[in-house]
Amino acid sequence: MTLPREAVTDGSAIAFDGVGVDYPGADRPAVDGISLEVAQGELVVLLGPSGCGKTTLLKTVNRLVELTTGRVLLEGRDAASVPATDLRRRIGYAIQATGLFPHMTVGANIAVVPRLLGWSPERIEARVAEMLELVNLPREYAARYPRQLSGGEAQRVGIARALAADPGFLLMDEPFGAIDAINRERLQDGLLEIQARLHKTILFVTHDVDEAVRLADRIAVLRDGSLVQYAPPLELLVSPADDFVADLVSADDVFRQLSLMAVGAVMLSSGCAPQADAPQDALSGARPIVRADASLRTALTQLLRSGADKLDVVDERGNFAGCLGLAEVRRMITARDTAHGPRGDG
């Protein structure tokens, strides 16, 4: 269904309005009438199996793929009304293989778009240094070549290049897909840190559910070129639109659900006291400590490993805020099971 014309121009950073893409000779559209909106500063993940249309939809934003039907609006302006070259200079783009130019140094790679925009050498040099610091690479890496980098380092340089000209939008097409599990998690952490500082509007393609759940403000699930569900990660897990979504995200995975719930939402804030009368700002009793903003999955792991009956919960300043035990975790799981009921036939 196409969004009303007036609805897609108010407050959306990116809006897909009845977007369709047909490839010659294909037996179905690659993208079939998708409408969704991405708010300013939001990280939205496009999730689905191979061939579902997620990368094609992403590439309609910077017009690497042209539309057959519909329109893409960027801050209310039709992307088709902007020359493709100008449009792409406003949009950061990071891909799985990084796309770094092998004959250029890291610094020159990062500086590609600023140089095209006519920035002065002094401004470019300062920006390269700033971007290397942002992605936690030493400044001297500016003189290295891509062949001298590890896969994780090269991917960080790719992100630095995508952000170098301070684009309004960032498109990421499975950027961590070829990275080993340990470095992949570090890159995800780095992206979350960057997003917390810069608040960019990001579209991120992945087929990895754990990555989607960890990174996204909202997830768009695609199947056969169509949008099946668009919702925050926890909503997808507890209220999947159908069996396809439920199976894709493993909606019955309690641990995945717990990873999206904060300790502070479940802890007991009254009726418990810190162990051993520890100072409010520096708890040091035998009972393990967990932060209120930690996930219930983290807290449950601590409870099971320590064998403690409860954890002391502290706020971001280290002050005692409450306590959490297995009973509180179990109560949350039971409440969600009761509220959402068994999965239907979809």
- Domain range summary for the chain, segments of one domain joined by +: 7-255, 263-338
Cα distance between the two ends of the chain: 20
User: CB within 8 A of 234, min separation 6: which ones?
Assistant: 257, 260, 261
At residue 228, the pLDDT reads: 97
Q: What is the pLDDT of residues 219-246, one digit of tens each?
A: 999 999 999 999 999 889 888 999 999 9
**What type of residue sits at position 310?**
K
Residues 6+ apart with CB under 8 A from 237: 213, 249, 251, 253, 256, 257, 260
What's the whole-model pTM score?
0.80
Q: What is the pLDDT of residue 5?
A: 41
CATH of 7-255, one of 3.40.50.300, 3.40.47.10, 3.30.70.250, 1.10.10.10: 3.40.50.300
User: How far apart (Å, rounded) are the C-alpha atoms in residues 179 and 288?
Assistant: 34
Q: State residue 345's pLDDT score.
A: 42
Check residue 146 and give its pLDDT.
Answer: 92
**b or e along 50-69 (b: 16 or more beta carbons within 10 Å of the residue's beta carbon)?**
eebbbbbbbbbbbbebebee
Identify which of 244, 238, 242, 177 has the alpha carbon closest to the alpha carbon of residue 204.
177
pLDDT of residue 337: 61
Query: Which stretches of the chain drop beneath a pLDDT of 50?
Result: 1-9, 277-284, 344-346
| pLDDT at position 283 | 45
Answer yes or no: same fold for 7-255 and 263-338: no
Q: Which two tokens stand for residue 240?
A: 């999947």
Domain 263-338 matching CATH 3.40.50.1370: the answer reads no
Calpha distance 166→200 (Å, rounded): 9
